[in-house]
Amino acid sequence: MPRKAKIRARAAGLKAMFEAEGARSVETNVLQPADLLLDLYGEDIRGRAYVTSDTLLGEQMLRPDFTVPVVQMHMEHGAEPARYTYAGQVFRRQEDDIDRDNEYTQVGYEVFERDNPAAADAEVFDVIRKALRGAELKASTGDIGVLMAAVQGLETTERRKAALMRHVWRPRRFRALMDRFSGRSPVPATRKALLENPAPMENDFPQIGLRSASEIEARIGWLREDAEAAPLSSGQVELIEALLNVRETMPFALEQLRDIAVDMPAITEAVFRLKDRIDALAARGVDVDNLDFETSYGRTSMEYYDGFVFGFHAPGRPDLPPVATGGRYDALTRALGQGREIPAVGGVIRPGLLLELEGAL
């Protein structure tokens, strides 16, 4: 059987398993409006997606994943509890690793549920886990919500918090901002010169770029405000570092986070949610005592995750991306819901990787 036919057959089998769990099969367009994704994630997504232009429709993007169009479809028809499954091609540019596929099949399972987020998290993880049964994979979990709660609780300006929140998914940029806001890194010479100039916009320099004069002035004003703000205390920085260094099995990670929450009460609710999730996973027969948890896990994935995140990878194949990934994306339903919202969590499997691990391709 040809390679693509094998992948389609495995995808159909996985999708049938998800339908047996009560999920309704849905389809989405391969071409998606680029402006929607750009509004949600900023221009950075251009570097990871294929963008084309249409005279009538404007910029279009080859579907980088299914979650955004599925959420959009669900929210357009209400915000009631539902379960969905789908299978099809997604497209990602791989300029950093030409050996990775830039077109591959995903099969997904999405749950929109209000009553018990911890139970929904456990359900999605467990359904994906059972679909992968037989493959020699290791699971990893995390919770983006813990770090987000910590950032919101910092004793600093709202602008600084917003900047850190924007870069939660970019660990290097996040670290650079923490260093800057705490005074650990020096102010760049060019910025220092700009701030020392009492009227930088009055110089007769040509205006270059797309920003208007008012936008440039607003940016300079923000830089001046930021320069006058008190630095983040060493204690706050150390707590964030301790948080990001939590990497243990779930029960031990929970204890470490509880200890940190004593000095960082902003994460208390997120820690309670983790405890509820652990109990819900255990109730479904998941061996939580040997399930890895890492606070930083998932920070380089799609930027809509804002809570529980997970992945399944092949320990003996570091050259392969995760075979399955997923997580919670409550904020995405608010962004696309036009006044409506509903907690949501989902996961996807790459059947091509499963077949490769089985030696079937």
CA atoms within 13 A on the CB side of 203: 9
Domain ranges within the chain, ordered by starting residue: 3-21+64-150+239-357, 29-62, 184-203+211-230
pLDDT of residue 218: 66
Q: Return the minimum-mean-pLDDT range out of 65-74, 88-97, 193-202, 265-274.
A: 193-202
Instruction: Lowest mean pLDDT of 134-143, 184-193, 319-328, 351-360, name the range.
Output: 184-193
The tokens for 55 are 């005279």
User: Which two structure tokens, joined as six digits, stand for 29?
Assistant: 């367009």
Find the angle CA(54)-CA(55)-CA(61) to the nearest 5 degrees. 15
* Averaged pLDDT for residues 26-30: 92
Q: Half-sphere exposure (CA, 13 Å, Cβ side) for 205?
A: 10
Q: What is the pLDDT of residues 93-152, one digit of tens each?
A: 766 666 677 889 999 999 999 999 999 999 999 999 999 998 899 999 999 999 999 999
Q: What is the mean pLDDT of the chain?
A: 87
* CATH class given for the domain over 3-21+64-150+239-357: alpha beta
Give residue 210's pLDDT. Answer: 60
Q: Give me the mean pLDDT over the 176-194 stretch.
A: 78
* Selection from 346, 348, 349 nearest residue 117 by Cα: 346
**More confident call, 224 vs 80:** 80
- Within 10 angstroms of residue 247's Cβ, the number of other Cβ atoms is 16
What band does 205 get if pLDDT is binned at 50, 70 and 90? low
C-beta pairs of 324-329 under 8 Å, 24+ apart in sequence: 324/128, 324/131, 324/132, 324/137, 324/348, 324/349, 324/350, 325/301, 326/124, 326/125, 326/128, 327/144, 327/298, 327/301, 328/117, 328/121, 328/145, 329/67, 329/71, 329/304, 329/305
